[in-house]
Amino acid sequence: MKHQPYISIANLVEYAAAASATRRRNIIANYHEPKIYKMDWHGASDAIFQSMISGAGDAHELAKREKARCSDLKLNASKKTRQRADHIIDIVDLLETSDFGKICEGVEIVEASALPIDFIFGDLKVRVRPNSILKSKFSPFKDRTFGVCKCHCFSSMRLDETSGSYYSTLLQSYAEACMPNEDIDNQFCQVFDLFGNQTYSAPKA
């Protein structure tokens, strides 16, 4: 069976937004398939982000526990492990202090753990791992609409209007593929750039 090309949503956006053919070639040359690191922090960061945007009361307690875990990991650890632990602590600090107001406007927020982590986009299998499902608040006058939200946590890849548009449009494609029975609203397909403190919604078609 032919191996299906597999890429993370962040790497796909980086490739699409690259300004030159040389940069795109370098992205492909240095690319590796999405991996699960032994020192995995995704579960904690996802839980903290979800708690922050949904207003759950345990958000800061989750952040406190994750920073304590990373501090413990630094004891007698290698330089690489200490640097990664410090980076995770920086991310948790940003999750605690960022402004998520735009994400929360006019929506109800539900954890997206029931959705698949990947979807097929053309000939690619794309790893998305959305954090949350966004749905319009109940109204007796119109049907509810849906979207998905993801927190982008890469300090080395800040988003701008172009890459943020690509990213959120891919999230819209994911939502349409993975929630085929729902009415997907482009404005509820959002990526939050943690290091840029910006929210980008998918543009209208």
pLDDT band for position 6 (cuts 50, 70, 90): confident
- The pLDDT of residue 1: 47
34 has a pLDDT exceeding 80: no
The model carries a pTM of: 0.86
Q: What b/e string do you get for 5-30 counting C-beta neighbours within 10 Å, with b at 16 or more?
A: eebbbbbbbbbbbbeeeeeeeebeee
DSSP state of 156: T
pLDDT at 41: 55
Residue 27, Cα to own-chain centre: how many angstroms?
A: 20
Answer whether residue 44 shows pLDDT above 60: yes
What is the pLDDT, as a whole number, of residue 33? 57
Count of residues making up the chain: 205
Model confidence band, residue 3 (pLDDT cutoffs 50, 70, 90) = low
pLDDT at residue 39, rounded to an integer: 44
* Contacts with 43 (C-beta within 8 Å, 6 or more apart), sequence order: none
Question: Whose CA is closest to 13, among 204, 193, 197?
Answer: 193
Task: Express each pLDDT in 72-90 by its tens digit.
Answer: 988 888 898 899 889 889 9
